[in-house]
Structure 1
C-alpha cells in the first residue's frame, strides 16, 4: 500500500474528530506532530490515522486522557507484558461500576419522589417539596 498523505481535515473526517481536537491531542503529546508540507501545512500519514483511531476509541469507552497516554505508551512497547494494560482497564471498569451504582441510587431516589406525586396542584407537589431546602429550623 502506498503512503497516503492526509490533511488535518481528512484525518479529522476519517476518525469523526474535530480539527480542534486533533490539534489538542498533538499539543498534549498524545498524537505525534506531523511532518509539514512546503506550504507549512500538516501532513499526516496512516500511523497518525491509526493512533488517532485508538485515542478516539479509548475516549469513547471513557478512559481519561492520562489513562489513554499510559495505554499508548504501553502499546508502543510490543514485547512488554500486558499486565499493566489489564490493570488500567480493571481500574476503569471499577470506576464505571461506581458510576453505575451512583446512577442506580439516583434513579431509586427519583422513583421515590415521583411515586409520592399525587398529580394535584403545585402547592401540594411532593417533588417540589423534596427539592426545596428544609424550612424547619
Structure 2
C-alpha cells in the first residue's frame, strides 16, 4: 500500500473517503487475517487491525501529501533531500525551550528512509500487540 500511495498520491485520499468500499475492505481483511494469525483474539482483533490500517494509511497519506506539496509549491529542481535539508534547518532554528526534542532529531530528517520508518512503526505496533496477548 505504501508504494501504491507513494506512486499515486490520490489513492490514500480515496481509501480514506470510502472505508466501506471494496478496496478498503480487502485491505482490512488482509490485515485482520494477519492479526488473527498472531493469536490475537476477541475485540482486540478489531483494535489491532484498525490500528495497523490507520497507521499505514496515515503515514502513506502524509508522505503523499508532502510529495504533492513539493511538486506544486517548490521549484521543479527541488529534490527530496534538498527539501528535507531545508526543513531540518528550520527545525534547528526553533526555540530551544519550546522544541527541544524536534531540534535534537533534526539531523536525522534529511537522510531518513520513509519506507524504513513505516516498517519500524509497524514493528512497534506489532510488539505492542504481542505484548498485550
Same fold (TM > 0.5): no
TM-score w.r.t. the length of structure 2 is 0.31
Larger Rg over CA atoms: 1
TM-score w.r.t. the length of structure 1 is 0.31
Higher fraction of helix = 2
Structure with larger RCO (C-alpha < 8 A, sep 6+):
2
